[in-house]
Chains A and B, each alone.
Chain A
Amino acid sequence: MHELDLKALGVTAINQKLYHIPKDTNERHWVIRNPMGQHAIACGVDAPLLIDIMGHVGFYCGGMNKEAEITIHGHAGVGVAENMMSGIVWVKGNASESAGATANGGLLVIEGDASSRCGISMKGVDIVVGGSVGHMSAFMAQRGNLVVCGDAGEALGDSIYEARLYVKGRADNLGSDCIEKEMREEHLEDLAKLLDRAKMKHRPQDFRRYGSARKLYNFNVDHADAY
């Protein structure tokens, strides 16, 4: 285990350190102290490192992550794990707006609540939120899974494409073209795996599934109110 003090080194020096660790290293475990809400911490990492960040972080922590397993021992600011490609970003506290925005792959776990626009434009990532998500979550969500163990805010899944949304609590204000869908066996299995990976103790049967009505997939003037 190696420690990096962000207060002493600054964000750029720490990121540069993480970028230049050889892929086949044994020195996989890095601990970042004193994050103090600074931005872009451990973004762009491209190696199977274990990174523990001891405190609250600012915007875009773990952005574009590839392969690394990043744990934030605190709250995360805007755009945590934005455009993640693979690996894991795990938030012990709450996440701010646009968590996992446009992310392509990997797993984003938020143990607390996520704010508005969680999973906006998501493109294949799996997101599991232990608490609730704010308004406009999964807006234009293209692919991947969003699991919400609490409630979903207003306009969930507005203009959604092919992403799958699972909500245990209330989701009584769905966005344009988002509808409740039948929970079939395959969905229960997928959801069970996701909950397991996120170490969340919930029964898949208690969730409801939401997805696209696909009415906006090809323009029809009679649906113009939905745009």
Chain B
Amino acid sequence: MDTNVPRTPPRKSATFDDYTLAEIRRAASTGIYDIRGAGTKRKVPHFDDLLFLGASISRYPLEGYREKCGTDVVLGSRFAKKPLELKIPITIAGMSFGSLSAQAKEALGRGASAAGTSTTTGDGGMTPEERGQSRHLVYQYLPSRYGMNPDDLRKADAIEVVVGQGAKPGGGGMLLGQKISDRVAQMRCLPKGIDQRSACRHPDWTGPDDLEIKIHELREITSWEKPIYVKVGGTRPYYDVALAVKAGADVVVLDGMQGGTAATQDVFIEHVGLPTLACLRPAVKALQDLGMHRKVQLIISGGIRSGADVAKALALGADAVAIGTAALVALGDNDPIHEEEYRKLGTTAGAYDDWHEGRDPAGITTQDPVLAARLDPVKAGRRLSNYLKVMTLEAQTVARACGKSHLHNLEPEDLCALTVEAAAMAQVPLAGTSWIPGRGGY
């Protein structure tokens, strides 16, 4: 044997990579699919793939700090007698008491109120803490109707009929029992410690024609005062937005696949839905075709992280954005300060997603009183309001550079794309060209 023959080095399969192999072994040994929180972790085309075209000679920029750039937004002006008037176009997405600690909910309310925006309940009803701390509170109307009652409905500032969410459009799902504490169980009328299998459809209506009747009932009960939002997961945004409008929505909330969740099957989070970037243009087109753009407001969510993302979403036609995961990070979720404890849970700061297990060292996605007490709602609220204000300043900075005296005056024409994929999805030209894939004209 010639010992000098080069050996083929060990080669791992690209198809069966280490992560995939580990998942097969995990499924084989546990007999249950992976359930986790947060949103998609795979890379999908996103707002990062877009750039703004600042003003220079052909257009004139506005002076930062001196020349005004408005950020306010009115949500629900179509039918509601009392639309929401927010100072900034960044709202806090629905997250339930149950998935989050009472302290975390309070902190969200404090932070949002300080920044002049709204926060949203979740699947589990309205707590007095969050109502008390939230200047503008949107009350979610979900298939489970946990904690639903007419008093809270009337206490809300707006009602969000949840048809779906970006992390699991079309899905109900299952929240494992570990987090179902006494208080959560009592609010949801369920025994403590059992899995919650949530329904994928509402119990008493199906489809836009019946939704129209349901919206009518909610308007009656709230005396036609409250804006009615309809929230959908991003899958067929053109049709779904059009049908929400036909069903009578004041506001449509569209959640792309990067949108987070408290707990769902990993296969759902990673394999169902459209990237947020790909949702926007068809949704706006639907509103334009119906003559309803800016009349029925569009809130986009799913992976919004910065003022740049806000400005890009608005430029593509949204009226506002909603943040969930980013807000939790602002409160202190996945902070490296807890690294030692994350390691004990077999993970690392930045990757912790077992939000359903209730062992969050940051005291946010937990019902454990000891862990939850770690989160100071006042300090965490302050952090959130700082973050919201920074995002707003960033968006204003970009908008002024594009010569806009209001964020809503940003347009798709202020953008170009770095990749062909992003150019196609956002329907803006590839940088340095006039080519919009699908429209010809290179």
State yes or no: do A and B touch (Cβ within 8 Å).
yes
- What 1/0 mask marks residues of chain B from 162 to 195 whose CB sits below 8 Å from any chain A CB? 0000000000001011000000000011110111
Question: What residues on B are CB-neighbors of A59 within 8 Å?
Answer: 204-205, 210, 213-214, 217
Task: List residues of B (198-238) whose CB comes within 8 Å of A's CBs.
Answer: 199, 203-205, 210, 213-214, 216-217, 220-224
User: Out of A64, A98, A218, which one reaches B150, CB within 8 Å?
Assistant: A64
Question: What residues on A are CB-neighbors of B220 within 8 Å?
Answer: 11-12, 15, 40, 43-44
User: Out of A12, A82, A124, A217, which one reaches B177, CB within 8 Å?
Assistant: A217
Smallest CB separation, A95 vs chain B (Å): 12
Question: What residues on B are CB-neighbors of A217 within 8 Å?
Answer: 177, 191, 194-195
Find out whether the CB atom of A46 lies under 8 angstroms from the CB atom of B177.
no
Find out whether the CB atom of A143 lies under 8 angstroms from the CB atom of B176.
no
Interface size on A, residues (CB 8 A): 48
Find out whether the CB atom of A64 lies under 8 angstroms from the CB atom of B153.
yes
What CA separation (Å) do A216 and B190 show in the bound complex?
13
Find out whether the CB atom of B31 lies under 8 angstroms from the CB atom of A83.
no
Find out whether the CB atom of A40 lies under 8 angstroms from the CB atom of B217.
yes
Question: What residues on B are CB-neighbors of A11 within 8 Å?
Answer: 220
For the residues of B in contact with A, the DSSP-based class is: loop
For the residues of A in contact with B, the DSSP-based class is: loop
Smallest CB separation, A175 vs chain B (Å): 12
Task: List residues of A (173-226) whose CB comes within 8 Å of B's CBs.
Answer: 214, 216-222, 224
Question: What residues on B are CB-neighbors of A79 within 8 Å?
Answer: 204-205
Question: What residues on A are CB-neighbors of B221 within 8 Å?
Answer: 40, 43-44, 63-64
The answer to whether A221 and B177 touch (CB under 8 A), given A43-B220, A60-B204, is no
- What 1/0 mask marks residues of chain A from 74 to 105 whose CB sits below 8 Å from any chain B CB? 00001100110100000000000110011010
Find out whether the CB atom of B194 lies under 8 angstroms from the CB atom of A101.
no
The answer to whether A43 and B191 touch (CB under 8 A), given A12-B224, A78-B205, A221-B31, is no
Smallest CB separation, A128 vs chain B (Å): 19
A164 at the interface (CB under 8 A from B): no
What CA separation (Å) do A110 and B365 show in the bound complex?
43
The answer to whether A161 and B190 touch (CB under 8 A), given A78-B205, A102-B145, is yes
A39 at the interface (CB under 8 A from B): yes
- B149: nearest residue on chain A (CB-CB)? A85
Find out whether the CB atom of B189 lies under 8 angstroms from the CB atom of A143.
yes
User: Out of B144, B149, B193, B216, which one reaches A104, CB within 8 Å?
Assistant: B149
Find out whether the CB atom of A98 lies under 8 angstroms from the CB atom of B203.
yes
Find out whether the CB atom of B145 lies under 8 angstroms from the CB atom of A83.
yes
Find out whether the CB atom of A219 lies under 8 angstroms from the CB atom of B204.
no
Question: What residues on B are CB-neighbors of A83 within 8 Å?
Answer: 145, 148-150
Task: Determine, out of A24-32, A115-123, A145-153, the stretch whose residues face the partner at the interface.
Answer: A115-123
What CA separation (Å) do A98 and B150 show in the bound complex?
19
B32 at the interface (CB under 8 A from A): yes
Q: Which of A102, A120, A162, A214 has the most CB of B within 10 A?
A: A102
A140 at the interface (CB under 8 A from B): yes
Smallest CB separation, A208 vs chain B (Å): 23
What are the 7 A-B residue pairs with the smallest beta carbon separation, nearest first?
Answer: A221-B31, A44-B221, A79-B204, A98-B204, A102-B145, A217-B194, A64-B150
A residues contacting B by CB (< 8 A) are 11-12, 15-16, 19, 39-40, 43-44, 46, 58-60, 63-64, 66, 78-79, 82-83, 85, 97-98, 101-102, 104, 117, 120-121, 123-124, 139-140, 142-143, 159, 161-162, 214, 216-222, 224, 227
Q: Pull 23 A–B residue pairs with CB atoms less than 8 Å apart, ordered by A.
A: A11-B220, A39-B213, A40-B216, A44-B221, A63-B217, A64-B150, A78-B210, A78-B213, A79-B204, A83-B148, A85-B150, A102-B148, A117-B204, A121-B203, A142-B190, A143-B189, A159-B197, A161-B190, A162-B191, A214-B194, A217-B177, A219-B32, A219-B176
Instruction: List 14 extra interface pairs beyond A121-B145, A216-B197, CB under 8 A.
Output: A40-B220, A43-B220, A43-B221, A58-B213, A78-B204, A85-B149, A97-B204, A101-B204, A102-B203, A117-B203, A124-B189, A140-B199, A162-B190, A218-B193
